[in-house]
Amino acid sequence: MREKKWIISGFDPNAAEALLRETGLSKLAVSVLCARGFDSAEKTRGFLEAGPSVLHDPFLLEDMLQATEEIKRAVCAGEKIAVFGDYDVDGVTATCVLVKYLRSKGARCEFYIPDRLSEGYGLNADAVSKLYEDGVKLLITVDSGITAVGEADYASGIGLKLIITDHHECLKVLPKALAVINPRRQDSAYPFRELAGVGVAFKLVCALEGADKTEELLKEYGELVAVGTIADVMPLRGENRAIVKTGLLSIENTKNPGLKMLMRMAGMEGKRITSNAVSFILAPRINAAGRLGRADRAAKLFFSQDLSDAERYAGELCELNRSRQTAENEILEEILDRLRTEFDPERDHIIVLWGENWHNGVIGIVSSRISDRFGLPTVLISLEGDKGKGSGRSVPGFNLFEGLEKCSSCLEKYGGHELAVGLSIDRKNLDGFKAMLNEYASEAGKGKKIVSTLVIDCEADPKDINIPNVKGLYALEPYGMGNQQPTFYLGNVLIEDITPISFERHLKMSFLKEGHQFFAFLFGTGSTNCRFVEGDRVDIAFSLEINNYRNQERVQLILKDIRRTVTEEERDIEQLALYRTFMTGAPIDAAAADRMMPSREDLVAVFRHVKTNARNGVLAVNAETLYRRIRRESKILMELSRLMLCLEVFKEFHILDYDCDKEMLRIVINPVGEKVDIFGSKILLRLKQAKEA
Helix axes 640-652, 566-583, angle to 10 degrees: 30
The secondary structure of 431-451, three-state, reads HHHHHHHHHHHHHHCCCCCCC
Which whole number is the average pLDDT over 345-362? 87
Percent of the chain whose predicted confidence (pLDDT) is above 70 = 98
Contact 114, 86 (CB under 8 A): yes
Residue 443 banded pLDDT, cuts 50, 70, 90: confident
Residue 445 banded pLDDT, cuts 50, 70, 90: low
CA distance 340 to 587: 38
* Amino acid present at 346: E
Mean pLDDT is lowest, of 265-269, 326-330, 395-399, for 395-399
Contact 258, 302 (CB under 8 A): yes
Contact 24, 472 (CB under 8 A): no
- The helix/strand/coil state of 183 is coil
Which whole number is the average pLDDT over 15-25? 93
Using the predicted structure, report yes or no on whether residue 417 has a pLDDT greater than 90: no
* pTM listed for this prediction: 0.82
Q: What is the DSSP letter of 187?
A: T
Q: pLDDT tens across 298-316, in order?
A: 999 999 999 999 999 999 9
Which whole number is the average pLDDT over 557-583? 92
Provide the pLDDT for residue 415: 74
Which whole number is the average pLDDT over 260-272? 91
Using the predicted structure, report yes or no on whether residue 514 has a pLDDT greater than 90: yes
Tell me whether the omega of the peptide bond preceding residue 235 falls within 30 degrees of 0, making it cis: no
Which whole number is the average pLDDT over 590-599? 93
Contact 559, 509 (CB under 8 A): yes
Contact 392, 376 (CB under 8 A): no
From the list 433, 334, 336, 427, the residue with the least C-alpha distance to 389 is: 427
Residue 448 banded pLDDT, cuts 50, 70, 90: low
What are the CA-CA distances from residue 621 to residues 531, 618, 624, 662 (Å)?
A: 9, 10, 9, 11
Using the predicted structure, report yes or no on whether residue 2 has a pLDDT greater than 70: no
Provide the pLDDT for residue 673: 75
DSSP 614-642: -BTTEEEEEHHHHHHHHHHHHT----HHH
- Residue 124's CB is within 10 A of a number of other CB atoms, namely 17
Q: pLDDT tens across 474-508, in order?
A: 999 999 888 999 999 999 999 999 999 988 889 99
Residue bearing the bigger pLDDT, 568 or 227: 227
Helix axes 257-265, 295-303, angle to 10 degrees: 120
Provide the pLDDT for residue 497: 94
- Considering the chain, what is the average pLDDT of its residues? 91
Which whole number is the average pLDDT over 398-411? 90
Q: pLDDT tens across 659-675, in order?
A: 987 668 999 999 987 78
Mean pLDDT is lowest, of 36-40, 121-125, 540-544, for 121-125
From the list 9, 13, 15, 17, the residue with the least C-alpha distance to 35 is: 9
From the list 232, 194, 181, the residue with the least C-alpha distance to 70 is: 181
Contact 236, 482 (CB under 8 A): yes
CA distance 385 to 120: 18
CA distance 639 to 649: 16
Q: Give me the sign of the Cα torsion angle 279, 280, 284, 286.
A: negative
Provide the pLDDT for residue 662: 63
From the list 297, 299, 303, the residue with the least C-alpha distance to 320 is: 297
- Residue 198's CB is within 10 A of a number of other CB atoms, namely 34
Percent of the chain whose predicted confidence (pLDDT) is above 90 = 71
Residue 17, CB half-sphere, CA atoms under 13 Å: how many? 3
Provide the pLDDT for residue 10: 86
State the first-to-last Cα distance of the chain, in angstroms, to the nearest integer: 44
Q: Strand (E) positions, 1-77?
A: 5-8
Provide the pLDDT for residue 122: 80
Provide the pLDDT for residue 526: 80
Contact 522, 507 (CB under 8 A): yes
Mean pLDDT is lowest, of 282-286, 339-343, 366-370, 661-665, for 661-665
Q: pLDDT tens across 34-76, in order?
A: 999 999 999 998 888 877 888 999 999 999 999 999 999 999 9
Which whole number is the average pLDDT over 597-604? 94
